[in-house]
Amino acid sequence: MPGSNLTRVEAEERKGVVEAPIAYHVDLDLTRGERTFGSVSHITFDAMAGASTFLDLIADEVTAVTLNGEALDPAEVFADDRIALNDLKESNDVVVEALCRYSNTGEGLHRSVDPTDGNVYLYSQFEVPDARRVYAVFDQPDLKAVFNFSVLAPQSWIVTSNMPVASVEESETETADGTLGDKPNETTKRWTFEPTPVMSSYLTAICAGPYAEWHTEYHNEDGRVVPMAQYCRQSLAEAFERDVDYLFDITKKGFAFYAKTWGVPYPYAKYDQIYVPEYNAGAMENIGMVTIRDQYVFDSKVTDALAERRVVTVLHELAHMWFGDYVTMKWWNDLWLNESFAEFTSTLATAEATEWHDAWATFCSGEKSWALRQDQLPTTHPIVAPINDLNDTYVNFDGITYAKGASVLKQLVFYVGRERFFEGIHNYLDKHAYANATLADLLGELEATSGRDLKAWSAKWLEESGINTITPQVETDENGALRSLTLRQTAPADHAVLRPHRLALGFYDEDPASGKIVRTERVELDVDGETTVVAEAAGKPRPALILVNDEDLTYTKIRFDEESLAFAEANLHRFDDALARAVIWLAFWDMTRDGEFPATRFIDMTLRLLSAETESTTFRYALSCMGTAVHHYVPADSRDEMLRHVAAELWALANVADAGSDNQFQLATAYLGYGEEGDDAFAANARGLLNGTISLPELEIDNNLRWTIITALTSVNEMDEADVQAELAKKETTENREFALGARASHATADAKSWAWNEALHNDGLTNSQMEAVARGFSGTPRADLAEPYAKQYFDTVDWVWANKTYHMAEALLTGLYPSYADPADLTELGDAWLESHQDADNALRRLIIENVDSSRRTLKVRQYNESL
């Protein structure tokens, strides 16, 4: 990281020097070997005459730099990942020739070798500022340009980029030492692409390799025919073939939904989706060619939650083609404009244009729970976050930017009205097409269409941190009718902002005919200030439950009145509506992790919910949060008993779940995470599932589930390293290599943890995905005796990691290797000491450590609360 950061001040200064038009001609040579590739950047731009600026480039070697016809000495002008450009003219022409390095970290141009067939696959990932790892560039979002790409690649490969291919020319040149393509010493092809529209550098992309491909087309709303394609590795082609038509259909539904909703047809020449290996993100909205992690190619059974998440991801990246690509933020402080909007509209499209009609329940359980957790950390920040440099940007791809921002946009739609909201979005897109914009630009258009003054709204919702809590205060008369219903809004002391909310109250009672709990009345109202009287409620019969924020219209924590809390705890599993269940469950989980509700009661309530829940993401998060409560919040003297109780209940529920159902699959998988060394019954069940002597109706032990069982057995020392290697030898794939590394790291022995610790930190040959698998295995064993030795080591290692790893790898290591099962009091003391001695450390690094330490501090606090009961 040293030398590769860029401050906002530097970006503004460079923007003041470099002027449009800017054009790039980038030639890449991918035939030079396994380590490096050739990169030639020819850039033309206008500038202030006599001024100086710099290009960004991370390269092994710069071999030539020419500025306005004058050859410059690379040794003099290339330093700290920058190329100095001095004494500029009004019109400038610069050529940079370099050797750049392939990555195995998912940054820049990633190179992956598939062990199944030896095929090599390349793909780029340039967000935040990693185009500079591939070509010399002004790598900031507000210096938009036209890009022309030309790529020399092995003859057997295909190459894709943002634009359609202009030409492909065969060459007699052979690849270097025959290591790149499928054939020894094969010849090459040069792929030249049409010029892009004006765009930001972080949205450019190159992918190359012998990808399997499928094609169709979309009849766009502006009358154009838009070519569409999907790609994946050859070894996944058979599995992907089953889903290609479905994914094309989802994408086309997205095209139609967004064009209708915003009144702006898809603006680009083509639309490709390429599923790539070892990706360090979910997906990336490169213009005209989206890259997506190929864990979304389902070769084994997955949860319905993951299947739905794939749909949301596809629609999220498609939404970016308008919001983020067509109109782009000026600087990374408005990153939320991209991500919040894409998250909100992709959920809206999923709910209204696909078969996943409960997408808002999914959003509440999954995304919103992420936002609530992030917003209660010491590192919480406004949605419009202060971004001083690139490192600040990295850490803001978080629950505030994505999930809180999306929740607040959902609230804004109800605040101004849906029709007026999207009319404003249409005007915003039209006015700033192919340009950059800011929050003020967006709010200006929404104010114009809605007639509301949004400056005060923005100040409280977007420019202040923290989350409110709304609690109902109920008084009834002697007949059980509501005498009064008042909503009390509070805010934490360190973020004392009370916000305006447009929300709904739901009254819920039992339906005698069905036995379900259903909504009997709904009141929608504005809530502002400390107290709001719900006048419409006076005189109405007291319902069994009063649900604040019914339908999840606003972003807030909620609490219950005493009678509603008791009823919800006993009857959550009987509620008819998936979104209502999600809202109630999230409130109970929030109370549990705030130390306001006993962990044992939350666990038993969750087990009842799991017996009936039908929404897959709520099911998934209920399992996950129950696991946190069991392992971290239950008092130590009853934890072992609770672990055995939960394991037994999960196994029993899995055995009575519908044959082959999503619930059965999730329950069986969750059960496999509750093994303890010496538990003969668990070992027998896991081995039985693996060898077929025990089965659940229609539950197939496919590749991924098989590795889940293997990891469960290694975690209780029922399989050793030789067993793991024997399993890998049966089918060695990219994915199975990662599973095997994770299984080896999961062994519950001191030697295994030592190996995993050193492997994750020091084996630079591991890909980002392999390193993450090792780190998960290292930290995933819920035994304090194995974690405790690494508490001090962790903090002793932080500085070395930050100094020697790229940001993404440092983040993965510092989060993945955190020994969270060690004594939380020790971790808190050590963490506070590190922070005290590192007050001048990079803000992004401090934030990572603060969040880890705060998780331990919360664990300590909540555990003490439960021990006091």
Q: List pLDDT tens digits, range 836-854.
A: 999 999 999 999 999 999 9
Nearest by Cα to 549 from 505, 613, 608, 598: 505
Nearest by Cα to 208 from 186, 235, 228, 231: 231
Note the Cα 3 to chain centre separation in Å.
27
Q: Would you say residue 175 has pLDDT above 70?
A: no
CA–CA dist 272, 159 (Å, integer): 12
The pLDDT of residue 391 is: 86
CA–CA dist 443, 452 (Å, integer): 10
The pLDDT of residue 778 is: 97
Which residue, chain included where needed, has tokens 């005919």? Answer: 513
Q: Which three-class secondary structure state does DSSP give residue 332?
A: helix
Nearest by Cα to 328 from 402, 405, 437: 437
Concerning whether 317 is annotated as a catalytic residue, the answer is yes
Other beta carbons less than 10 A from residue 248's beta carbon: 19
Taking the model in full, what pTM does it have? 0.96
Instruction: List the catalytic residue out of 317, 727, 811, 851.
Output: 317
What the block records as the tokens of 83 is 């190329």
| Mean pLDDT within 733-755 | 97
| Mean pLDDT within 363-389 | 93
At 552, phi and psi to the nearest 5? 55, 50
Higher model confidence: residue 128 or residue 210? 210
The pLDDT of residue 121 is: 98
Length of the chain: 869
What is the rounded (10 degree) CA torsion for 722, 727, 729, 734?
-120
Q: How confident is the model at residue 735 (pLDDT cuts 50, 70, 90)?
A: very high
The pLDDT of residue 177 is: 52
Q: List pLDDT tens digits, range 293-349.
A: 999 999 999 999 999 999 999 999 999 999 999 999 999 999 888 999 999 999 999
Contacts of 341 (CB under 8 A, 6+ apart): 319, 323, 324, 405, 406, 409
Would you call the peptide bond into 128 cis, given omega within 30 degrees of 0 as the criterion?
yes
Q: List pLDDT tens digits, range 663-720.
A: 999 999 999 999 999 999 999 999 999 999 999 999 999 999 999 999 999 999 999 9
Q: Would you say residue 1 has pLDDT above 50?
A: no
What the block records as the tokens of 240 is 């992907």
Other beta carbons less than 10 A from residue 567's beta carbon: 20
Q: Would you say residue 232 has pLDDT above 50?
A: yes
Note the Cα 833 to chain centre separation in Å.
31
Burial of 109 (0-12, 13-18, 19+ CB in 10 A): buried
Contacts of 72 (CB under 8 A, 6+ apart): 65, 66
**Percent of the chain, pLDDT > 90?**
94
Q: Which three-class secondary structure state does DSSP give residue 269?
A: coil
Q: List pLDDT tens digits, range 774-795.
A: 999 999 999 999 999 999 999 9
Q: Which domains does the chain have, with CATH numbers?
A: 1-210 (2.60.40.1730), 334-461 (1.10.390.10), 468-554+556-577 (2.60.40), 702-777 (no CATH)
What the block records as the tokens of 822 is 């060690």
The pLDDT of residue 203 is: 98
Q: Would you say residue 100 has pLDDT above 70?
A: yes
Start-to-end CA span in the chain (Å): 48
Note the Cα 143 to chain centre separation in Å.
26
The pLDDT of residue 239 is: 97
Which helix (H) or strand (E) element contains residue 271?
Answer: strand 271-276
Q: How confident is the model at residue 2 (pLDDT cuts 50, 70, 90)?
A: very low
Q: What is the DSSP secondary structure assignment for residue 201, as one 8-state letter? A: G
**Partners of 545 in the β-ladder:** 508
What the block records as the tokens of 134 is 């591939």
**Rounded mean pLDDT of the chain?**
95
Distances from the Cα of 817 to the Cα of 399, 776, 813, 841, angstroms: 21, 7, 6, 20
Q: List pLDDT tens digits, range 111-165.
A: 999 999 999 999 999 999 899 999 999 999 999 999 999 999 999 999 999 999 9
